[in-house]
Chains A and B, each alone.
Chain A
Amino acid sequence: MASNRWLATGNFFTTYQEEQRTFTTRLDQLIFSIFLLTLFIWPLLFELSRTYMLVVDNILIAVVAVLGLNLVTGFAGLISIGHAAFVGVGAYTVASCSRMIGDSHIIITHLWPVMIIAGGLAGAVMGAIVGLPALRLKHLYLAIATLSFQMIFEWTINFMAFFNQGQTIFVGRVMWLTGEVGRSDHYVFWYYVILIVIVMCGFGVRNLFKTRYGRALVAVRDNDRAADAMGMHPGLTKVYAFALSGFLAGVAGALHAYLYRGAGIESFTLHHSISYLAMAIVGGLGTLNGSFWGPAAIQFLDLQVENVAELAGHYMPSNMNLATALRPLTFGLVIVLFLMFEPRGIANWWRIVKSYTKTWPFRY
């Protein structure tokens, strides 16, 4: 490991292991560790209001879901317009367990990590099933197949009495070493849980792309015939991309069910699928850090627009329409403007900032 990144002027790797390392320099590692540490410590230092903690939790859950979406859409190049349905599968796995065995059963309250993984597995299974058309379909046709999964999912939940016809199915409060996680600690507790999940998923995804399975995804995206010629099975690779993405979505869904203490169909509609896509695009498709930027940016924007709309409402009381129209308008504009002017998303700004600091004071 080169000890000082400022002195590194080129690629001096001598072994494959060296190239595959997660951190190129010790400084990188240190900075990242400090960053992680800050993420874990700050809630202990400042007390954020419950609303903002909820917003932060929400962003983090969206990060998990968008990570999954990025796997399938960004890295494997398969458009999914049904991602919220996969998230819903995870949430409803937890919720239907809770409905069967009671919402404060020991399995729900004590074995919640198991439930979260179960949610992920259910998402993975559904992902693989929905991915099956990918064996034959490409591009738009595949997008439409995922859209129909979204519709069928919504109908099923809305229709079946078992799922409470789409109304909230409650999930009880969980237990931790210190006892039941009460209302005051709820959001902070789940902040930590989701953060740990994200760190695990983030490293998982990052490491995935050092394996042949990860590289197969990208190869199939870039040229599936070439990938075929090199001995990969493009169809199976796509199915497996869907399964992986479904797993992450399912985990996000299970977390959502626990965070909101219940699952209801309103949180898993087509609108949310579109939001996830928007987050992935604004963040930067096919980049790992884009999965973090996107949700943060979209949710932050949503909050700011709400504030502005509220202000506008103060000054134009009889003209509420203007204030409320702002929200869909800005949401749409952000997507369109990003696609037109920065299709590589915020991740690209990050790249620019990074390379600027790296080469400073020189520029090219």
Chain B
Amino acid sequence: MGKTIRKNLFALNLFLAFAVVVCITPQAFAGGKVYKMGLSLAITGPTSDAGNPYSKGVEDYFNYVNDTKLLGDDKIECMIRDDQYQTAVTKRNFEDFLDQGIVFYLNYSTGSTLGLKRDFEEVQIPVLPASFHAGNVEDSHYIFLPIASYSEQVVSLSEYVVNNHKGDKPKVAMFIHPSAFGRGPVGDVEKSIAAGLNMEIVEVVEHGKDLDNTAMLQRLMSKNVQYVICQTIQSPVATMIKDAARLGISANAFGESGKITFLGAHYTGGNDLIDLAGDASENFFWITSYTITSEPGPGTDFQLSLAKKYGRDDKAANSHNYANGIMVAQVATEVVRRAKEKGLDISKKTLHDELNAMNGDNAYQPPTTVGPVTYSSTDRAGVDSLQIYAVKEGVFRKVGEPITSQYMKKIK
């Protein structure tokens, strides 16, 4: 028994060694420099419905950069690893990336971004996570949010409610994920209210794995709640809005009196919500900084052509998380390009400086977002403008123009 195992191990190692040689050889002959980057995310396990298209976006964009010689002869090699949403594995991947000399790191979950925050500080590497948790940038100099934080998204939604509500003070309930990811923005909304935002939070509901939300919805109705702002993932929102549609209490237009209008932050929406909730998602308001393929434009054309070029299916191609992945890869490529243009040596430090300088005239406008990416040493949230979308006849449609939050500045 032991012998065969040893034999197998030997064969496996031989295979691996061979494979490594095969992988390395083409690069050795390519000429130009290779800049290494790393991405660790949940391709399987919890939240993989978001992580999977995200990884495809990153992978495709970097392939695109290399194939179209966007950086001349230089190439970006981005290692993508699955961490199954476990911080310990993320840390292992990160250390491995460091050993391989990465100059830029892309991270995923809130938990691992916070958990590795001190490591990022120590090794001074610029990081773009897929989590827009406001706490990520606290006490940190190297974590940059790609778009406005969840707090900013939720506060913007609240402002939208206040500005467009007709009648008395709007009564709002919040439907949140039972974790820090969900609870984080609640405090900021409360602060905004204290700072003069004219609305009332009637209740904050933390959901579980509910199969029936009827009682909760009726309770909200009896308390005259007119708006529910969600900060969680798609699946629980889908269950809730299905129940609401069935009870006939979901509003047909924004702010319809006697009914409830549902609104949600980045990870509650997108095509995934429509996929899960079907017709019940009608008139769901969603806020994000990305352009989406149901509102075609140059950005989404680019997104779709990229997906086509690399053979992605329709679902991935139209996912806002695919756009999300493309966007972080674009930012990473852009800083490399800028540093190269200035004739600087590409290192963690120069890329970090480039990120910090990305403001004013130097702001970067990726095609797939609704506003420019601006970073500075004091503001490390990228795209500050947010676009509200609402589901009309089964697809998300733009509602008004991109907005920026007023109260986030006041409560800082």
Contacts and interface: CB of A to CB of B under 8 A. Distances in A.
A178 interface: no
B99 A51 contact: yes
Contacts of B45: 271
A327 B183 contact: no
Contact of B122 (A166, A183, A310): A183
Nearest to B42: A324
A165 interface: yes
B115 A262 contact: yes
A266 B81 contact: no
A98 to B, nearest CB: 13
B80 A260 contact: no
B315 interface: no
Given A167-B135, A261-B118, A317-B310, A352 B85 contact: no
A143 interface: no
A318 B63 CA distance: 12
Contact of B23 (A265, A311, A327, A353): A311
Interface stretch (B87-95, B220-228, B254-262, B362-370): B87-95
Most chain B beta carbons < 10 A, residue from A51, A309, A311, A313: A51
Contacts of A266: 85-88, 109, 111-112, 115
B102 interface: no
B82 to A, nearest CB: 5
A320 B60 CA distance: 12
B114 A264 contact: yes
Contacts of A165: 179-180, 183
A320 B52 contact: yes
B31 interface: no
A92 B133 CA distance: 23
A55 B44 CA distance: 21
Given A51-B92, A165-B179, A266-B85, A318 B2 contact: no
A19 to B, nearest CB: 29
A54 B95 contact: yes
Interface in B305-351: 310-312
A170 interface: yes
A21 interface: no
B111 A168 contact: yes
B44 to A, nearest CB: 5
A309 B82 contact: yes
A144 B358 CA distance: 54
A289 interface: no
Interface in A301-353: 304, 306-311, 313-314, 317-318, 320-321, 324-325, 327-328, 342, 349, 352-353
**Residue from B114, B117, B119 having most chain A Cβ neighbours under 10 A:** B114
A193 to B, nearest CB: 18
A264 B180 CA distance: 11
A327 B83 CA distance: 10
Given A165-B179, A167-B180, A168-B114, A320 B86 contact: no
Given A309-B82, A320-B55, A324-B43, A51 B96 contact: yes
Nearest to A265: B111
B91 A260 contact: yes
B1 A349 contact: yes
A267 interface: yes
A158 interface: yes
Contacts of B380: none
A264 B109 CA distance: 12
A50 interface: yes
Contact of A55 (B23, B52, B92, B119): B92
Nearest to A328: B44
A51 to B, nearest CB: 4
B86 A307 contact: no
B19 A311 contact: yes
A264 B82 contact: no
A58 B88 contact: yes
A49 interface: yes
B12 A264 contact: no
Given A306-B81, A349-B1, A170 B118 contact: yes
Contacts of A24: none
B16 interface: yes
Contacts of B99: 49-51
Given A264-B115, A324-B43, A318 B180 contact: no
Given A260-B88, A320-B52, A327-B44, A167 B114 contact: yes
Nearest to B307: A318
Given A58-B92, A260-B115, A349-B1, A310 B87 contact: no
A87 to B, nearest CB: 11
A96 interface: no
Interface string B49-86: 00010011001000100000000000000011110111
Contact of A307 (B16, B59, B110, B115): B16
Contacts of B85: 266
Contacts of A170: 118
Contacts of A50: 95, 98-99
A320 B56 contact: yes
Contact of A325 (B12, B44, B59, B110): B44
B32 interface: no
Given A304-B16, A352-B2, 8 more contacts: A50-B98, A54-B95, A168-B111, A261-B118, A306-B82, A309-B82, A311-B16, A317-B311
7 contacts: A49-B96, A158-B179, A164-B180, A165-B180, A266-B88, A266-B112, A349-B1
